[in-house]
Amino acid sequence: MKVLERALLAGAVLFLGASLVPVGHAQTAASAQPQFTTLKADFVPGDRTIFYDDFSDMTPGDPPPHWKVRGAAPELRAAGEVRQLTFVASGSLYPNLTGLPKNFTYEADVKFDAPVGNAQLYLLLLSKDKDALILGTYVRSNTFDVHLQRKLPTYEDLARKRLPVDIGQPVRLALWLQEGRLRVFVNGEKQLDVNQLDDVPAIDRVELRGAPTGAGVAIGLRTVRFAESTPDLGQVIASTGRYVTHGILFDTDSDRIRPDSAAAIQAIAKALQASPGLKLLIEGHTDASGGAAHNMALSARRADAVKAVLVSQFAIDATRLTTAGLGSTKPIGPNETLQGRAQNRRVELVRQ
């Protein structure tokens, strides 16, 4: 299984009952985890995947199957199991989606190579073929800038900031539009935050524009995801009885929860703490990649780790939780496609 697939699969394999796991194992799992009660958690990934690509189904020399290409053709580069679609000259990519909902998130893992010259990456959100919102990322030698502006219904320079970023490593970019509030995150930290954007028109097209200039300058996309945001977990559970999250992630082939899962873990704990009578069935779901036996064993270890964190760090009574690991038995998307597999890697919380 590819590394990027396994990393995302990690977020979907969860929860078996604590009674099936030795106490010592649970204590070890809890002590090895990040301290989620103190981790800063500003970004909450959208729950319903609208578009996802990690370029694992792309063939070198062929155009990317899930994007329309205009301008210079990007290159598929691979290093081991890591693949990236790379801008080496100015060009644009349009994901195959018909629009974005009012509330949505965007996430991208990007590798900037800019030993000299400039590497500029723009996310353009369009309405009726006109730029509505623009997120610009600018890399020059050792500087890293983010710039947010809007052009509809009127032009406004919203926010900009220069950051200390190690561009020798991939950079995780994220944008979250929720009820007229627009936030930009870099490597999990909130950098820009503007509000009262309720008059931004509906977004019906998306463009990613890369503009590298200079010898050896390149911009590599490793993963791209757009998703629809949902309201607060507690509100959804109260109104519908079910909540779906794609926000719990693990280290590859491990039961160690990644620190960037803090928002999802804290949201679950907050809902349980706010409603002492709330009891939940926690369902873990995977896609169909990899061996079923391996995924089930991994789900058991990860189940113990997550439950241990909720109990030990947030003082949640374990008797309020029942669990079920369902593997790939209840897909919500086709396992034959990247986007379908991304939808299937999930956790569902069901009110009891």
b (16+ CB within 10 A) / e for 51-79? bbbbbbebeeeeebebbeeeeeebebbee
Burial of 198 (0-12, 13-18, 19+ CB in 10 A): exposed
The pLDDT of residue 282 is: 79
Cα–Cα distance for residue pair 178/182, rounded to 1 Å: 7
Each residue's pLDDT, cut to its tens digit, for the chain (352 residues) gives 333 333 333 333 333 233 233 333 444 455 588 998 988 777 888 878 899 999 988 988 899 999 999 999 999 998 777 899 999 999 999 999 999 999 999 999 999 999 888 999 999 999 999 999 999 999 987 799 999 999 999 999 999 999 988 888 999 999 999 999 999 999 988 999 999 999 999 999 999 999 999 999 999 999 999 999 877 778 888 889 988 888 777 787 777 888 878 888 898 898 889 889 888 887 878 788 878 887 777 777 777 777 888 888 999 898 988 878 787 888 888 988 888 888 888 788 889 8
Q: For residues 96 and 244, state if they share a domain.
A: no
* Residue where a domain terminates, one of 166, 200, 228: 228
Cα–Cα distance for residue pair 87/110, rounded to 1 Å: 11
The pLDDT of residue 82 is: 86
The pLDDT of residue 230 is: 72
Domain coverage including residue 295? 3-44+231-351
Q: For residues 31 and 110, state if they share a domain.
A: no
Cα–Cα distance for residue pair 5/289, rounded to 1 Å: 8
Q: For residues 215 and 98, state if they share a domain.
A: yes
Name the token pair of 285: 């779901």
Got the DSSP string for 25-37?
HHHHHHHTS--TT
Under DSSP, is residue 249 helix (H, G, I), strand (E, B) or coil? coil
| Model confidence, pTM | 0.76
Q: For residues 39 and 122, state if they share a domain.
A: no
Q: For residues 182 and 218, state if they share a domain.
A: yes
What does DSSP assign to residue 295?
H
CATH at 287: 3.30.1330.60
Work out how many domains the chain is built from and give that number: 2
What does DSSP assign to residue 296?
H
Q: For residues 205 and 257, state if they share a domain.
A: no
b (16+ CB within 10 A) / e for 266-285? bbbbebbeeeeebebebbbb
Q: For residues 126 and 235, state if they share a domain.
A: no
Beta strands, E only, 151-293: 156-163, 171-178, 181-186, 189-194, 205-213, 218-228, 242-245, 280-285
Q: For residues 242 and 215, state if they share a domain.
A: no
The pLDDT of residue 31 is: 56
Cα–Cα distance for residue pair 260/8, rounded to 1 Å: 12
Give the residues across from 127 on adjacent strands: 130
